[in-house]
Amino acid sequence: MTDLLPPEFDRRTVDAEGVRIHARIGGDGPPVLLLHGYPQTHLIWHHVAPLLAAGHTVVLTDLRGYGDSDKPRSGPDHAAYAKRSMARDQVLVMRELGFDRFAVVGHDRGGRVGHRLALDHPGAVTALAVLDIVPTRHAFRHADADFGLGYYHWYFLAAGDGIPEHLIGADPAFWVRTRMGARHQDGTPFSPQALDEYVRCFSDPAAIHATCEDYRAAASIDLVHDDADAAQGRRVTCPLLALWGEHSFVGRHYDVLDVWRAYAEDVRGQALPCDHYVPEEAPARTAELLAAFLPAAP
């Protein structure tokens, strides 16, 4: 197990109603929860977390199904990997650590979990930052040929009959390294140790299956929840910061702030000179913008 975080980041395993979530905690000040994306772990924040820890208590977790967190089996409705279930894990983790209110920063899948967390638990979230995403509902509802080619993995990973599990399982290192390498441009290179850790965790067949379930949920039960919110006029009420890579698919195909303003009441943000993996490609600027946005100590 590779550890790129400073030793003051304590390691914890927190029981979230029977699902063990792997967590790291460091720093001092207002609490902020950092959530990673696919196909990574909490180590995507290894540059950013120590910078934020100068003024915040920083909690990093592996989402259920990822890293060293539990990987529960899911039924035919994929509810175990609905963003509602994944978000509830994180609320329970933060409560167990003593934080009833906290900020959330999520990249990629973690941003989708953060979006659901802010909708389902508005009293818990003081601020939300989403990195290189637009809402799942918007992406699917406006999908075209460019989206299908650029985000083909959404459809591949959501396929049934064990097809993606079988194909990825034949060479998980190839899948992780090529998937990430194809979405990196002009930024800080990936840490070889971080890549090795992503491969280590993703080489577990249970992780491959669980992360496919994450995408199957996104294409099914998550849309049911999102459509219900839209019908009821529910939006994110806390301040929302959107950051994205100017070279990423998101940056090239969406008016990111305009899209988020249909889903949140208080939106601001900007592009950074990178592709998809914002916290690893542009860590110093990411940390600077997050520190300016997140609630500060009184």
What does the pLDDT average to over 67-86? 97
What does the pLDDT average to over 83-99? 98
pLDDT over 80 at 15, yes or no: yes
Tell me the C-alpha distance between 149 and 135, whole Å: 18
Whole-prediction pTM: 0.97
Domains parsed from the chain with CATH numbers: 10-293 (3.40.50.1820)
Higher-pLDDT residue of 71 and 297 is 71
- Mean pLDDT computed over every residue of the chain: 96
| Residue pLDDT, tens place only, 105-154 | 999 999 999 999 999 999 999 999 999 999 999 999 999 999 999 999 99
So which residues are the catalytic ones?
A: 108, 276
pLDDT over 70 at 67, yes or no: yes
When pLDDT is cut at 50, 70 and 90, the band that residue 97 belongs to is: very high
pLDDT over 80 at 298, yes or no: no
pLDDT over 90 at 184, yes or no: no
CB contact at 8 A, 59 and 94: yes
Do you find a cis peptide bond into 283, omega within 30 degrees of 0? no
Tell me the C-alpha distance between 243 and 103, whole Å: 15
When pLDDT is cut at 50, 70 and 90, the band that residue 29 belongs to is: very high
Share of the chain above pLDDT 70, in %: 99
What is the token pair recorded at 35? 């959530």
pLDDT over 90 at 187, yes or no: no
Higher-pLDDT residue of 3 and 64 is 64
When pLDDT is cut at 50, 70 and 90, the band that residue 61 belongs to is: very high
* Terminal Cα distance for the chain, rounded: 38
pLDDT over 70 at 87, yes or no: yes
pLDDT over 80 at 284, yes or no: yes
When pLDDT is cut at 50, 70 and 90, the band that residue 171 belongs to is: very high
pLDDT over 90 at 182, yes or no: no
Q: At what angle do helices 205-218 and 192-202 cross, to 10 degrees?
A: 90
* pLDDT (0 to 100) of residue 152: 95
Higher-pLDDT residue of 3 and 66 is 66
pLDDT over 70 at 2, yes or no: no
Tell me the C-alpha distance between 53 and 47, whole Å: 11
DSSP 3-state of 237: strand
When pLDDT is cut at 50, 70 and 90, the band that residue 1 belongs to is: low
